[in-house]
Structure 1
């Protein structure tokens, strides 16, 4: 029975990382004893972009930039290992968005350096539940805030759904403890974490002005040091694996899934406001979301449908904005993709995405539209993606971008 449960877990994890691939199988998995109860698995992937944008700002020296630029969007290595069914450790490292502007002659600047995305250890609490801790990705809020970067259906994740990235965490990972598991068709993940002290927000709040996401830095870790998150979902069709935290973007016709979910993120006194004479006080950061994911094959000819919808309410504090990425307000997001029925091992999946954000302090909206196509040469393991995206932020002119991505993972 023990071997049967272990084998089932390994098959689920293999399916999680091999959607739509006819020849990937279980990947680079190495058994270190005869029955396979002790093993490690290594996953490596890279995503390369060629991107055209005629609205690029001037560079740091005031010069015009080329309309077309190249970008190593992600280069990652992930390894996890079990010494038995009760203990697991996962390590994930790599770099992101390396390009000619942030490379250095000897590869020593920050953008060129590898860093840990995840390092966590886990202990099983029976067949369907586990507790763990470390630098982890067992996030709250929504499916997209737990998205795997190996199998996103669109070119990339919708940026505002990684709603705490760089504000309370390190690249969407928190340092803390988590509890995860399943009860029949219901899955859950909850966590308690430390917020980072140094984040993307700098400076001090303006007297009588908007909130500043600097609670831990300005108020201290006792008052503003902890965050709390959770995501809960119910699956009406086939079960999804929660062996690892990374949510699948599209199964490319290999699974029938219909899930509805809800999640939260709370950071007490995470933001700070200053009154008219400069006295500081904390404001709670609260992000809530509900979403639905539908992914099914259509008939026996290879066609498949993927659809996702999300409503997210963001409260980062009074009139909060940071760049064009984070705002106190609300958001609606949806995407849909269709795998064409072709008599070939390759698959084509055109898709649409749409996002509308309501921004409190501007009393205005941001809208984003995407139109793209995936060419799956071997499922998500080898694919090309071409996407046109248009972003209009409040009263600014729309920014239009065309990106071609080449991706492979083993």
Structure 2
């Protein structure tokens, strides 16, 4: 048992020469296990699904003051009924979900190369899934049982990102050039360009991963905007299609009363979709608009051995010449030790215009160090 626990502690190697930079390696593990009941999940019958929603072994190292690396070795949705894509770490597979090298020349200028988040949205472009406000991501960004509306390798892509935090963190920028859509859909093998900028009006968020809720430990008010572009694609058998997405988002987290309030909202405009989503009837070459708003309140006063945080989310999907879809979510987080030990309950209803509504109930336990 002691040997098993030892791999999860931080190991620090100090250089024998005082003038050299400190080198260190950090290793950690984090996982979510959940049960979902899905109404009409198998035709006309309910689906009862036990799964490992996420499992991450993380390794972070910094051999010099200017160079560092990071990786998540991950499995996702292990045991989900009807889903198995081993090469992407979905189902029975185990893969490098994140894997990059960073050249840190200055806090305002860093170069990151490898597989990493697509810096488009806040909800799944900068926020760590280890610290979400809601039980899972928004439905159109891979949460609950939905899919991701943009091209990705489970929310990531392979490429190079230049990013930094100039003006003492008042502003953060990220500029990515990556592969995006590949194979016959991209006959000229054109690259993808994604750019994101964020103004931090209170305390800055300067890391690669942000938190979805800070539990009263930080005062944040940020406004972000981004775009994602890849040209001359073949979508729905139509060549010469340009995929373009733009988005704006706002995030607020601040102590209030006997706790802290968290609120987040975003609008996303999509032209010539590259992805399909059966829940929302999204198909390649569709134009669509997405909107979501979510909020929660964290109570400082413990209940038994933990702290409570109720939340809600409302999400809409509007696809040109198709009926709208609305997704309502409400739930409760029970924190035993911050984000490292958390029990969550979630109820989600998918409101279709032409079909019968679908209800999904989730119980989830997250544990990590």
TM-score bucket (shorter structure): 0.7 to 0.9
Aligned-pair distance for 1:165?
4.3
- Residue in 2 that maps onto 1:132: 112
Alpha-carbon distance in structure 1 between the residues aligned to 2:47 and 2:153: 31
Query: 1:250 aligns to what SS in structure 2?
Result: coil
Q: Of the two, which has the highest radius of gyration?
A: 1
**Aligned partner of 2:246 among 276, 280, 288:** 288
- Residue in 1 that maps onto 2:272: 316
**Aligned partner of 2:316 among 338, 346, 356:** 356
Aligned-pair distance for 1:138?
4.9
Is the 8 Å Cα contact of residues 141 and 149 (structure 2) preserved in structure 1? Answer: no
CA offsets, 1:177-225, max 9 Å, x none? Answer: 110101120001110001243xxxxxxxxxxxxxxxxxx41452xx343
Alpha-carbon distance in structure 1 between the residues aligned to 2:302 and 2:76: 36
Is the 8 Å Cα contact of residues 141 and 229 (structure 1) preserved in structure 2? Answer: no
Deviates more, 1:386-395 or 1:257-266: 386-395
Deviates more, 1:340-349 or 1:162-171: 162-171
TM-score, normalization: structure 2? 0.86
TM-score, normalization: structure 1? 0.77
Is the 8 Å Cα contact of residues 348 and 359 (structure 2) preserved in structure 1? Answer: yes
Alpha-carbon distance in structure 2 between the residues aligned to 1:166 and 1:144: 11
Aligned-pair distance for 1:360?
0.6
Alpha-carbon distance in structure 2 between the residues aligned to 1:100 and 1:387: 17
- Residue in 1 that maps onto 2:232: 269
**Aligned partner of 2:206 among 241, 244, 251:** 241
Query: 2:154 aligns to what SS in structure 1?
Result: coil
- Residue in 1 that maps onto 2:346: 387
Taking the TM superposition and a 5 Å limit, the aligned residue runs for 1:7-406 are 28-33=9-14, 37-58=22-43, 67-99=47-79, 101=81, 111-161=91-141, 165=148, 168-184=151-167, 185-197=170-182, 216-220=183-187, 223-242=188-207, 245-272=208-235, 274=237, 280-299=238-257, 301=258, 303-316=259-272, 322-325=277-280, 326=282, 328-343=287-302, 346-362=306-322, 364-406=323-365
CA offsets, 1:58-88, max 9 Å, x none? Answer: 4xxxxx7664321111111111100122001
In the alignment of these two chains, the number of paired residues is: 344
What RMSD in Å do the two structures reach over aligned CA positions?
2.6
Is the 8 Å Cα contact of residues 87 and 124 (structure 1) preserved in structure 2? Answer: yes
More contact order relative to length (CA 8 Å, sep ≥ 6): 1
Give unmatched runs, 5+ long, in structure 2: 1-7
Is the 8 Å Cα contact of residues 121 and 133 (structure 1) preserved in structure 2? Answer: yes
Alpha-carbon distance in structure 2 between the residues aligned to 1:349 and 1:157: 16
Give unmatched runs, 5+ long, in structure 1: 1-26, 59-63, 198-215, 275-279
Alpha-carbon distance in structure 2 between the residues aligned to 1:269 and 1:103: 31
